[in-house]
């Protein structure tokens, strides 16, 4: 394995190990980490693995007796990555960009010197990659935002961002799965439930998946919302 993917191993507590890569986050590194995770999480001694931008957090079932053992173990696993195949899904998420669902759209338009239609088109035309889930259960950190929409986070975060809010923060876009505080700019909303603790897995998407946004009107928004409440809505994905 190339030195490009050398990682650092450290123990965070008696049962938790952190693997960290020093290179900058890229699709290549993301692909490497996802394949690595798929290999090591099959080990019977590992409880769970959590992916970050440049890291994997590994929770063991038992106490760490030798960090050196685990470092060598992971190095051997990493050599098998090139033969690992991971299934990818490409999800289509409906988003309504009407102003009643997009309280910051006009400000984003003004800040970026683009009309609202252009902001919506740039946002909905892109294809995004799920880097990892975090901050909130089911919150997808998505890369692939058009650089013309890069925008610093708000100086004063909101305390109650609505469920389903589609937002821009820095070089990313994301969706708030539930009501929460946050400092991103709200440009739309999806009626789709992103997280359901009663399902396995509770979130429909996983790191490495693709996400596209489909613009819908408020009538369609209400229709999907009603279908979800009745248990009749099925999230679409591309073949």
Q: Regarding beta strands 172-175 and 165-169, do their DSSP bridges make them parallel or antiparallel, or are they unpaired? A: antiparallel
Range in 89-93, 124-128, 155-159, 187-191 with the lowest mean pLDDT: 155-159
Residue 90 — pLDDT band, cuts 50, 70, 90?
Answer: very high
Q: In degrees to the nearest 10, what's the CA dihedral of 207, 182, 101, 220? A: 30
- Which alpha helices (H) appear in 167-237, and where do they start and end? 218-229
* Domains present along the chain, CATH in parentheses: 3-83 (3.30.1360.40), 90-238 (2.40.100.10)
Rounded distance between C-alpha atoms, residue 215 and residue 219, angstroms: 12
Find the helix or strand (DSSP H, E) in which 194 lies: none
CA dihedral 27, 33, 37, 38 (to 10 degrees): 50
Give the tens place of pLDDT for each residue, 35-55. Answer: 899 889 888 999 989 888 889
Please tell me the distance from the alpha carbon of residue 196 to that of residue 201, in angstroms, as a whole number: 8
- pLDDT for residue 19 is more than 80: yes
Please tell me the distance from the alpha carbon of residue 86 to that of residue 164, in angstroms, as a whole number.
28
**Mean model confidence pLDDT for the chain:** 90
Q: Taking the chain, what is the end-to-end CA distance rounded to the nearest angstrom?
A: 33
pLDDT at 3: 64
The phi and psi torsions of 124 (rounded to 5 degrees) equal -85, -15
* More confident: 87 or 93: 93
What pLDDT is attached to residue 239?
Answer: 65
């Amino acid at each position: 394995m190339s030195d490009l993917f050398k990682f650092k191993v450290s123990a965070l507590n008696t049962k938790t190990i952190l693997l960290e890569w020093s290179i900058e986050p890229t699709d290549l590194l993301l692909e490497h980490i996802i394949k690595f995770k798929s290999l090591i999480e099959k080990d019977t001694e590992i409880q769970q693995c959590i992916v970050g931008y440049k890291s994997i957090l590994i929770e063991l079932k038992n106490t760490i007796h030798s960090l050196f053992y685990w470092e060598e173990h992971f190095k051997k696993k990493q050599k098998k990555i090139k033969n690992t195949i991971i299934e990818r899904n490409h999800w289509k998420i409906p988003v309504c960009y009407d102003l009643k669902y997009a309280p910051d759209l006009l400000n984003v338009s003004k800040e970026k010197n683009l009309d609202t239609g252009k902001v919506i088109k740039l946002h909905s035309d892109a294809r995004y990659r799920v880097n990892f889930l975090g901050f909130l259960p089911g919150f997808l950190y998505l890369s692939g935002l058009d650089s013309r929409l890069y925008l610093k986070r708000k100086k004063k975060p909101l305390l109650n961002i609505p469920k389903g809010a589609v937002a821009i923060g820095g070089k990313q876009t994301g969706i708030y799965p539930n009501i929460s505080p946050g400092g991103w700019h709200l440009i739309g909303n999806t009626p789709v439930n992103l997280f359901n603790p009663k399902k396995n897995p509770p979130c429909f998407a996983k790191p490495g998946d693709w996400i596209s946004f489909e613009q819908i009107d408020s009538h369609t928004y209400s229709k999907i919302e009603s279908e979800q409440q009745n248990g009749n809505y099925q999230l679409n994905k591309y073949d």
